Amino acid sequence: MKKKPVFTFLQFSLLVHSMQVGTGILSLPRQLAEIAGTDGWISILLAWGLNVCFGIIMVLVMQQYPNDTLPDLFMRLFGKVIGRVFVLLLVVHFVFFSWSVLVNAMLYIQAWFLPLMPMTMIMMLFVVPAYMMARHHIVAIARYCEFVFFLSLWMGFVFIIPLREGQFVHMLPLIKEGWLPIFKAVNSTTFSFIGFEIIFLVYPFLNRKELAIPGVLLGNTFTLLLYLASTIVCFVYFSPDEITQYNQPFLSLLKVVEFRFLERFDIIFLALYLFVVSTAWVPYIYSAAYCSSHLLGSSNHSMHVLLFSVASLVIVTIIQPSWNQSELWKTWAGYSGLMVAYTLPVLLLLYVKLIKLVPRKEVHP
Amino acid sequence: MINRWLLLLVCLFTLSTVSGCFEQHSIENLTISMLVGIDVNENGQLIISQSSPVFSTEAKENEEDYEVISNSMRSARDRFDTLTLGLTSSNKAQVILIGKELTKVNGWQSLIDVFFRDSRNTVSARMVYVDGPVSEIINFKPKDKPRLPFHLSKLIDTALKRNDTTRTTIQDFHRQLHEKGNTPSLTAMRKEKDIILLGTALLNQQAGFVMNVTPGETKLLYILENKTRGEFPYTLIMPMNESEGIINKNILSFNMQKIKTKIKASYSDGKFKFNVHIKGQIYLTEKLFNKGIRDSFDELEQKISKLMKRDFTKLVTKLQRAAIDPAGFGMYARAYAYPEWKKAEKNWTDAFKEADVNVNVNFKLIGVGAIE
């Protein structure tokens, strides 16, 4: 008998972490500064707390039926027809999110170092490796995420270099305009923190299920530390009056990093950072393909991955996405993430608790 | 098996695109402007000039200089392309020279937009204020110096080690322009027989030139900004009542080290108040007066602190009178008196003019050198 593939606690938390971290980080400092000024980093802390809560709710839902992934659960709870409608919505979310991450990354690459390269070419370079990864089981993908995480740990040290030119006085006073802007800015972090809905799909494969909640906590904390460090460095380096001028403050910051032997460090960084972004889109494409193959009742999702890859190539060639469109899709992806990662787990938890109550009442009237 | 071949084919196809040869330029076909000059001529036209190295062995000169009349940086590049052999690219620019006349033009600072918008451009070129026409410097070809861009950047970078001048990159300049709590400052340079550094050129919030400060004052400015890297040699004229002939016997020179500046701001009686605390250590390096030090160690220490306080206060008063804030007191006003700052931020330099700045200097005399 074939053993069911499982993954470890660390792989689980790193999968959650790497799905969250994508291209959002590059513009996050600006988005926060636009609303909350240099207090924006507090919003990240709040967002972290919020996301951990919702992550835990997801785990609580999945605990009820520990061998079901979300599509299985939908089928079990709502029957074949309504269940399929739900799965379809899930597919739409995952497809759309993968698409918007891919397009976003492609536009970064095009804008920052390959301005004349056709979009189709760049997209091709993305989707071919993505296809090769995403057609495998999620356990293999989780191992890839773990590998990339350790491979890219050094990137954290780069933050320290611009710090010595920074002015910590930019951060003061704390809570300038009261708490309201800080709460409002939490909204801007949605796109950057979405990704933990992968818990819905991977919970059955976790080898020690009692560690699911610490795993969610750890994964989110990695993300928190990364975002906090990058945002604070940007706030300290750039003037609060200036930072909103940069579309991607994080890349503008890296542009300043220079060594005696190396200029334009941002280009090297962004190229290597693609590995980190790929650990976001690969699991997303997997999720989309997994859900859609489930929808059609086939057990092999690799054809769906291929379909997605080819389709995205064709669509990029036809549409030729602009920054404006990409920003719009990002906002939409944020909304669909809001539905799937925040609304859905709460509703599911309530529903699951409810149906567990109902039969009991029937037995003991 | 077919799958594997298909995969291989796809991989090969992908590889063919990896080289990214869509925008390759070989170095022979490039004119790399290492030095960019921006100035206004007598007729009130914008002049963009550039100096770039020549790699040809046949050419006698090792650099080429061009000047064009233009309206903006990018349209100047188009003009350069019609002049030079290669494609002009300024993404390796080392120094940007800003002419004296240019700083009198309102809104000249918008010219630097291209360095930020086009991500291929560098943002770490040094911005230099030229006290005089830029063309004097661009056309300067001394026999005993390396190529001009390296000459200039080396001049600035080494002077910075002893904090005789300011180094403001385009990125820094951008920050200084947009930060409401300070005013920009640039390296100041003039062509006499050689090219000399004048210290720091201070600009107002609209990037108009206000005044130059000497290398000595630049050091004080750096200390006020809490940028205390490098050496801080300083010379004081002590009240020792010695003769002041060709050799001023009252002179005392020393190095300041481990300097820490703390600025606290508050607001009361309709004014911003700043308390500046400067702490540091002093090593004597030169003393021309006869009075010994061993028995008046503490006295000397206090005297130096007092005279330094006088110099700092003098500088701050000078800045206030000129309504400029290169040291960035406004950032402390924002940090410690936010509600009042919010009202004053639009015209910060006016508020700074009225502010009370109280400087306290506390230097510790660590060493007096090897002789009495």
Would you call B269 helix, strand, or coil by DSSP?
coil
pLDDT per residue as tens digits for the range B338-370: 888 888 888 888 888 888 999 999 988 888 888
Query: Is residue B61 included in any domain, yes or no?
Result: yes
Compute the average pLDDT of residues B89-107. Answer: 88
The C-alpha of B213 sits at a distance from chain A's nearest C-alpha, in angstroms, of: 23
| Best of A106, A127, A242 to mutate (most B CBs within 10 Å, chain B) | A242
Q: Among all residues of chain A, which has the CA nearest to that of B170?
A: A256
pLDDT per residue as tens digits for the range B44-59: 889 999 888 887 777 7
**Half-sphere exposure in the Cβ direction for B240 (13 Å, CA):** 23
Q: Percent of chain A at pLDDT above 70?
A: 97
What average pLDDT is seen over chain B? Answer: 86
- Does residue A171 register a pLDDT over 60? yes
Q: What's the confidence (pLDDT) of residue A48?
A: 92
Residue B153 pLDDT class (50, 70, 90 cuts): confident
Residue B21 pLDDT class (50, 70, 90 cuts): low
* Host domain of residue B84: 27-213
Report which secondary-structure segment, H or E, holds A305.
Answer: helix A302-319
Would you call B273 helix, strand, or coil by DSSP?
strand
Cite the beta strand spans of B45-152 per DSSP E. Answer: 46-53, 63-69, 87-89, 95-99, 126-130
Chain A / chain B CB contacts < 8 angstroms:
69
CB spacing of A238 vs B336 below 8 angstroms: no
Query: Is residue B4 included in any domain, yes or no?
Result: no
- Does residue A327 register a pLDDT over 50? yes
Query: Is residue B13 included in any domain, yes or no?
Result: no
Query: Is residue B19 included in any domain, yes or no?
Result: no
pLDDT per residue as tens digits for the range B236-252: 888 887 777 888 888 88
Question: Among B188, B213, B238, which residue terminates a domain?
Answer: B213
CB spacing of A238 vs B331 below 8 angstroms: no
Are B93 and B192 members of one domain? yes
CB spacing of B18 vs A125 below 8 angstroms: yes
Q: For chain B, how many structural domains are there in total?
A: 2
Q: Among all residues of chain B, which has the CA nearest to that of A237?
A: B175
Are B259 and B278 members of one domain? yes
- Chain B residues with CB inside 8 Å of A258's CB? 124
The C-alpha of A114 sits at a distance from chain B's nearest C-alpha, in angstroms, of: 7
Amino acid at the residue B19? S
- Does residue A363 register a pLDDT over 50? no
Report whether B276 contacts B358 (CB < 8 A): yes
Query: Is residue B17 included in any domain, yes or no?
Result: no
The C-alpha of A121 sits at a distance from chain B's nearest C-alpha, in angstroms, of: 7
Compute the average pLDDT of residues B206-211. Answer: 89
pLDDT per residue as tens digits for the range B67-84: 889 888 888 888 888 888
Compute the average pLDDT of residues B106-135. Answer: 87
Amino acid at the residue A59? V
- Chain B residues with CB inside 8 Å of A254's CB? none
Are B221 and B72 members of one domain? no
Question: Among B213, B234, B252, which residue terminates a domain?
Answer: B213
Quick one: residue A234, left, alpha or beta (phi over 0 = left, psi -120 to 50 = alpha)?
Answer: alpha
What average pLDDT is seen over chain A? Answer: 86
Rg (CA), chain A: 21
- Chain B residues with CB inside 8 Å of A268's CB? none
CA–CA separation, A262 and A268 (whole Å): 10
Compute the average pLDDT of residues B88-92. Answer: 82
CB spacing of B175 vs A263 below 8 angstroms: no
Taking the Cβ of residue A114 and every Cβ of chain B, the question of whether any pair is shorter than 8 Å is answered with yes
Q: Percent of chain A at pLDDT above 90?
A: 16
Report whether B308 contacts B223 (CB < 8 A): no
Q: For residue A238, give the nearest of B119, B169, B175 by CB distance.
A: B175
Are B153 and B218 members of one domain? no
CA–CA separation, B244 and B247 (whole Å): 6
Q: Percent of chain B at pLDDT above 70?
A: 97
Report whether A284 contacts A101 (CB < 8 A): yes
Question: Among B213, B240, B258, which residue terminates a domain?
Answer: B213
Q: What's the confidence (pLDDT) of residue A362?
A: 46
Q: What's the confidence (pLDDT) of residue B317?
A: 92
Query: Is residue B20 included in any domain, yes or no?
Result: no
CATH number of the domain at B272, please.
3.30.300.210
CB spacing of B336 vs A264 below 8 angstroms: no
- Chain A residues with CB inside 8 Å of B261's CB? none
Are B202 and B240 members of one domain? no
- Chain A residues with CB inside 8 Å of B115's CB? none
Query: Is residue B5 included in any domain, yes or no?
Result: no
DSSP string for B15-70: HHHHT-GGG---GGGEEE-SEEEEEE-TTS-EEEEEEEE---SS-SSSEEEEEEE-
CB spacing of A128 vs B14 below 8 angstroms: yes
Are B182 and B283 members of one domain? no
User: For residue B120, how many other CB atoms are within 10 A of its CB?
Assistant: 13
Q: What's the confidence (pLDDT) of residue B14?
A: 66
* Residue A2 DSSP label: P
**Cα–Cα distance list, A171 to A27, A240, A245, A251 (Å):** 19, 9, 18, 20
Are B168 and B279 members of one domain? no
Q: For residue A173, give the nearest of B20, B171, B335 by CB distance.
A: B335
Q: What's the confidence (pLDDT) of residue B17?
A: 61
Interface of A with B in 132-161 (CB under 8 A): 132
Query: Is residue B22 included in any domain, yes or no?
Result: no
The C-alpha of A262 sits at a distance from chain B's nearest C-alpha, in angstroms, of: 12
Are B116 and B148 members of one domain? yes
Are B186 and B332 members of one domain? no
Q: What's the confidence (pLDDT) of residue B147?
A: 84
CB spacing of A173 vs B116 below 8 angstroms: no
B138 contact partners, CB below 8 Å, separation of at least 6: B35, B37, B49, B50, B51, B65, B67, B97, B148
CA–CA separation, B81 and A264 (whole Å): 24
Q: What's the confidence (pLDDT) of residue A364?
A: 44
Q: Among all residues of chain B, which has the CA nearest to that of A164?
A: B227
- Chain A residues with CB inside 8 Å of B334's CB? 169, 172-173
- Does residue B2 register a pLDDT over 70? no
Report whether B141 contacts B64 (CB < 8 A): no
Are B303 and B240 members of one domain? yes
Are B238 and B328 members of one domain? yes
- Does residue B102 register a pLDDT over 50? yes
CB spacing of A114 vs B338 below 8 angstroms: no
Compute the average pLDDT of residues A206-235. Answer: 89
The interface pTM score, or ipTM, of the predicted complex is 0.85
Would you call A167 helix, strand, or coil by DSSP?
coil
CB spacing of B11 vs A128 below 8 angstroms: yes
Domains of chain A (ranges plus CATH)?
Answer: 9-363 (1.20.1740)
How far from the centroid of its chain's Cα atoms is residue B229's Cα? 14
- Does residue A111 register a pLDDT over 50? yes
Are B164 and B308 members of one domain? no
- Does residue A365 register a pLDDT over 50? no
CB spacing of A169 vs B124 below 8 angstroms: no
